[in-house]
């Protein structure tokens, strides 16, 4: 497949208000988990990961101000390029997410452009695919970069699980980590973005997305069926075929596993079924351990982590497998490689 390179990243998370601060905190295993203003059914405060914004924004305005600084970080890397020549793909929560804010598909992109006081390329779009949405966005960005001969494209994601409707629905399904449920996740929020260019433009110090793939898991969390990780295996195999790389060529993994046992089991099964050669270790990095469950922002967060780890020289190697899972069974995977050139 035609590869794309990650040239720059931006992040706003519960542990940092820019990409360098967030990546440094995640590398050190720091978190900002604290009691939220929401209570569980037993009257205990739910633990979450808030982003310390300068004002107490709420609703869509909060999402706008979560993602704006991340987008600005990427734009700073291409100062002088008119934004009308840069498509923005904005990834948000899936449409059936309980507690999802209204107007995300129709209004959020316009509100981001209004706050920035300029417009992006006419092919810019909102992608409502949750945690796997960023990979769909990269697929669309790849097509635009090559077919439209554009220089750059931005893939951004923004999400929050810290809303009453979302927390109530997730707690009802015993998905939230509480004093009476140890098999749950810590809700969080984040905005993140990455700047992409054609793989042929890549230079030292960039991460290349060499291949991606998608799958469908019939034995998703709510199905009650025995899990064999069929969907994630399918996604990894597609990414392997597209990239020309094998799982054995990879040095470590970064995944959206959020603390629930289902995700750990799926990741382990998928590796077992796709790794055909003996390797002593294929480490797995889990940013959600530090920033909480951030939904649609996770792909941009993980790409930013991989880029920073490679440039700073603390990555275990140059080959990375990233994989993502939606609650409805959608699965996605990416194979990355680093072109060298640290800082």
pLDDT (tens, 9 = 90+) of the chain, 343 residues, equals 688 999 999 999 999 999 999 999 999 999 999 999 999 999 999 999 999 999 999 999 999 999 999 999 999 999 889 999 999 999 999 999 999 999 999 999 999 999 999 999 999 999 999 999 999 999 999 999 999 989 999 999 999 999 999 999 999 999 999 999 999 999 999 999 999 998 765 555 789 999 999 999 999 888 878 999 999 999 999 999 999 999 999 999 999 999 999 999 999 999 999 998 888 788 999 999 999 999 999 999 999 999 999 999 999 999 999 999 999 999 999 999 997 654 4
**Same structural domain for residues 212 and 258?**
yes
Q: What is the CATH number of the domain that holds 167?
A: 3.40.47.10
Rounded to the nearest 5°, which phi and psi values hold at 75? -65, -30
**Same structural domain for residues 169 and 261?**
no
Kindly report the number of other CB atoms within 10 A of residue 256's CB atom.
Answer: 26
Structure tokens, 209? 């997305």
pLDDT at 2: 83
> Is residue 111 assigned to a domain?
yes
> Is residue 73 assigned to a domain?
yes
Q: How many domains does the chain have?
A: 2
What is the DSSP secondary-structure string of 149-166?
Answer: --S-EEEEEEEE--SHHH
> Is residue 28 assigned to a domain?
yes
**Same structural domain for residues 220 and 117?**
no
> Is residue 161 assigned to a domain?
yes
pTM of the model: 0.96
**Same structural domain for residues 194 and 221?**
no
Structure tokens, 11? 């992040």
**Same structural domain for residues 30 and 76?**
yes
Cα distance between residue 298 and residue 278, in whole Å: 30
**Same structural domain for residues 255 and 334?**
yes
What SS3 state is found at 239?
A: helix
**Same structural domain for residues 186 and 37?**
yes
pLDDT at 341: 53
Which of 173, 201, 229 finishes a domain? 201
- Would you put residue 99 in left (φ > 0), alpha (ψ -120 to 50) or beta? left
pLDDT at 80: 84
**Same structural domain for residues 27 and 162?**
yes
**Same structural domain for residues 98 and 44?**
yes
**Which contiguous run of DSSP H or E holds residue 107?**
helix 104-116
Rounded to the nearest 5°, which phi and psi values hold at 128? -100, 70
> Is residue 92 assigned to a domain?
yes
pLDDT at 203: 56
Cα distance between residue 244 and residue 3, in whole Å: 11
**Same structural domain for residues 90 and 228?**
no
Cα distance between residue 106 and residue 94, in whole Å: 14
Cα distance between residue 186 and residue 31, in whole Å: 11
Which of 201, 218, 247 finishes a domain? 201
**Same structural domain for residues 276 and 310?**
yes
Which of 201, 227, 251 finishes a domain? 201
Cα distance between residue 252 and residue 242, in whole Å: 19
What SS3 state is found at 60?
A: helix
- 303-340 residues labelled b (16+ CB within 10 A) or e (exposed): bbbbbbbbbeeebeebbbbbbbbbbbbbbbbbbbbbee
pLDDT at 176: 97
**Same structural domain for residues 185 and 282?**
no
> Is residue 190 assigned to a domain?
yes
> Is residue 60 assigned to a domain?
yes
> Is residue 343 assigned to a domain?
no
Host domain of residue 213:
207-338
pLDDT at 200: 60
């Amino acid at each position: 497949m035609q590869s794309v390179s990650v040239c720059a990243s931006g992040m706003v998370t519960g542990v940092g208000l820019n990409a360098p601060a967030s990546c440094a905190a995640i590398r050190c295993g720091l978190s900002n988990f604290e009691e939220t203003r929401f209570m569980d059914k037993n009257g205990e405060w739910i633990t979450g990961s808030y982003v310390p914004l300068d004002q107490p924004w709420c609703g869509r305005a909060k999402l706008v101000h979560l993602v704006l600084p991340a987008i600005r970080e990427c734009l700073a890397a291409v100062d002088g390029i008119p934004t009308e020549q840069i498509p923005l793909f904005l990834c948000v929560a899936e449409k059936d997410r309980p507690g999802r804010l209204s107007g995300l598909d129709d209004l959020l992109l316009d509100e981001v452009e209004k706050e920035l006081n300029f417009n992006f390329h006419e092919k810019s779009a909102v992608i409502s695919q949750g945690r796997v949405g960023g990979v769909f966005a990269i697929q669309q960005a790849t097509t635009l970069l090559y077919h439209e001969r554009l220089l750059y494209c931005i893939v951004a994601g923004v999400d929050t699980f810290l809303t009453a409707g979302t927390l109530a629905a997730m707690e009802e399904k015993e998905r939230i980590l509480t004093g009476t449920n140890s098999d749950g996740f810590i809700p969080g929020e984040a905005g993140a973005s990455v700047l992409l260019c054609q793989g042929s433009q890549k230079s030292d110090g960039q991460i290349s997305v060499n291949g991606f793939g998608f799958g469908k898991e019939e034995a998703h969390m709510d199905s009650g069926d025995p899990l064999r990780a069929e969907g994630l295996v399918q996604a990894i195999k597609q990414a392997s075929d597209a990239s020309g790389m094998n799982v054995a060529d990879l040095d470590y993994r970064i995944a959206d596993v959020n603390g629930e046992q289902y995700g750990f089991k799926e990741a382990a099964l998928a590796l077992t079924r796709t790794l055909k050669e003996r390797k002593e270790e294929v480490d797995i990095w889990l940013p959600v351990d530090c920033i909480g469950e951030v939904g649609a922002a996770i792909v941009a967060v993980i790409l930013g982590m991989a880029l920073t780890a490679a440039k700073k020289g603390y990555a275990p190697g140059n080959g990375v497998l990233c994989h993502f899972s939606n609650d409805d069974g959608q699965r996605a995977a990416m194979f990355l490689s680093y072109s060298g050139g640290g800082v």
